[in-house]
Amino acid sequence: MKRKQTRGNAGSAKGKATKREQQAALEPNAPFQKNEEVTVDLIGLTHDGEGVGRAGGFTLFVQGGLPGETARVRVMKLKKQYGYARLEELVQSSPDRLQPPCDIFKECGGCQLQHLDYAAQLAWKRQSVVDNLKRIGKLQVAGEDGHADAGIVVHDTVGMEEPWRYRNKAAVPVGAGDEGKLIAGFYARGSHRIIDMNDCLIQHERNDEVVRVVKRIARELRIQPYNEETGQGVLRHVMTRTGVESGEVMVVLVTNGGRLPRQPEWIEQLRAQIPGLKSIVQNVNSQATNAIFGDETRVLWGSEVIYDELDGIRFAISARSFYQVNPAQTVTLYRKAVEYAALTGKERVIDAYCGIGTISLFLARQAGHVYGVEIVPEAIADARRNAELNGIANATFEAGPAEVVMPRWRKEGIEADVIVVDPPRKGCDPALLDTILALRPERVVYVSCNPSTLARDLRVLEDGGYKTVEVTPVDMFPHTVHVECVVWMVSKD
């Protein structure tokens, strides 16, 4: 009994020691305390655009800091190996620092890099791509680590001559401000507090005007803004699309429930106050969710779609269509994808994640035949409509998971010379990567909106027998941390 008791005590003491060790492992190793002011040297930027600072061998992330700066900061939060600090004063500024032209830049979470010179933004985005390829993909990049010629060629980021007013779509949350007044704008950084916005410098001017008009009408009609905490109120979001080439405008009112109070007045006033208005749509979202759209969409007035053009190809765009928000850079991106596909007019091309057929139709102008697959049936309906709209007969579209549809196409005798993928931020489904490796096309063109998942997927394809030749970063979203890439891969066979 004594032995058992001794063992029990020893086990108990050991358990307590383990808990102490676990607690110690969670305690910060910082040489300073929370709320203490320290001086840091900023050496980089995170993928979220925060400055990376070092002080006493400890890492602090500083919102608003830039590489090459020395700053006095206040420590706000400490973790085991890093912490977060607020910028109090710049001791030494970066030569690339600018005064942001937007009045609400420091509060708003929409842009992260307005305080950084545009040329420096482009350089940082290229370096971000390189770093991800090396760190996550374990890939060799030409010109890095002494490899002058060997490895993947990563080109300079393709920027815009005029990197403002480029967005053709705005989607803004609606809420209540001071004294319950209806406001609409963007969420403050790291929160769901809405900052009222009347002018956004990366939005097309007509989108700004539409948002101002909708707010004015909603206030005049005494429409109740949605309250996230209580689930009460009517108007949740306003979305507007502008056809940059066509001049056509769509307004989408996202409501909490199917009833839109004073609907006739809404339609009358929107039509009277918005030039070029072609479509007024209501989307119903009664769920307690961060998602903008609900499942039900109804046209209140006008057309179900508006039209726009990219490089001479006309597209019908519905309220929930995925359509790139920067049309000028979209043309650059897709032209590069077509270039990497190296088409001669005979190839069979499969476009996985084809959406409404944007890349597919670019490819179809130079391919023998293009086969587009997309899991969203509504997008496939749009793709077929867009092909017909442009008189393109050498494009076939089918709804379903690409990893299911593509093997069946192969059994039906459809062998792909080129496969193009343009996945969401989470990257390609592993089953799709396996399918690509099984189909063995001569070339793969990967269009990516996330360098980290791109690098992960390239590693899989490289291990499966492909070689990454070139990467071209394209700045689709100036003044934000996001960067798109087009990648050219060839079979090692």
Q: Which domain holds residue 223?
A: 169-310
Domains held by the chain: number? 3
Q: What is the pLDDT of residue 9?
A: 44
- Assigned domain for 107 exists: no
Domain boundary among 97, 130, 149: 97
Q: What is the pLDDT of residue 148?
A: 59
**Are residues 301 and 351 both part of a single domain?**
no
- Assigned domain for 466 exists: yes
Question: Tokens standing for 382?
Answer: 């749009």
pTM, 2 dp? 0.90
Q: What is the pLDDT of residue 7?
A: 41
**Are residues 290 and 374 both part of a single domain?**
no
- Assigned domain for 162 exists: no
Q: What is the pLDDT of residue 27?
A: 62
Q: What is the CATH number of the domain that holds 375?
A: 3.40.50.150
**Are residues 233 and 343 both part of a single domain?**
no
**Are residues 305 and 341 both part of a single domain?**
no
- Assigned domain for 134 exists: no
Domain boundary among 286, 310, 334: 310
**Are residues 242 and 336 both part of a single domain?**
no
Q: What is the CATH number of the domain that holds 45?
A: 2.40.50.140
Domain boundary among 97, 122, 151: 97
**Are residues 336 and 295 both part of a single domain?**
no
**Are residues 380 and 272 both part of a single domain?**
no
- Assigned domain for 267 exists: yes
Q: What is the pLDDT of residue 3?
A: 39
- Assigned domain for 150 exists: no
**Are residues 291 and 359 both part of a single domain?**
no
Handedness of CA 85, 88, 92, 93 (dihedral sign): positive
**Are residues 356 and 332 both part of a single domain?**
yes
**Are residues 339 and 466 both part of a single domain?**
yes
Q: What is the CATH number of the domain that holds 305?
A: 2.40.50.1070
pLDDT in tens, the chain (493 residues): 333 444 444 444 444 556 555 554 556 778 889 999 999 999 999 999 999 999 988 999 999 999 999 999 999 999 989 999 999 999 999 999 999 999 999 888 889 999 999 999 999 999 999 999 999 999 999 988 765 568 999 999 999 999 999 999 999 999 998 888 999 999 988 888 999 999 999 999 999 999 999 999 999 999 999 999 999 999 999 999 999 999 999 999 999 999 999 999 999 999 999 999 999 999 999 999 989 999 999 999 999 999 999 999 999 999 998 899 999 999 999 999 999 999 999 999 999 999 999 999 999 999 999 999 999 999 999 999 999 999 999 999 999 999 999 999 999 999 999 999 999 999 999 999 999 999 999 999 999 999 999 999 999 999 999 999 999 999 999 999 999 999 999 999 8
- Assigned domain for 116 exists: no
**Are residues 470 and 333 both part of a single domain?**
yes
- Assigned domain for 161 exists: no
**Are residues 343 and 298 both part of a single domain?**
no
Task: Give the catalytic positions in this structure.
Answer: 449
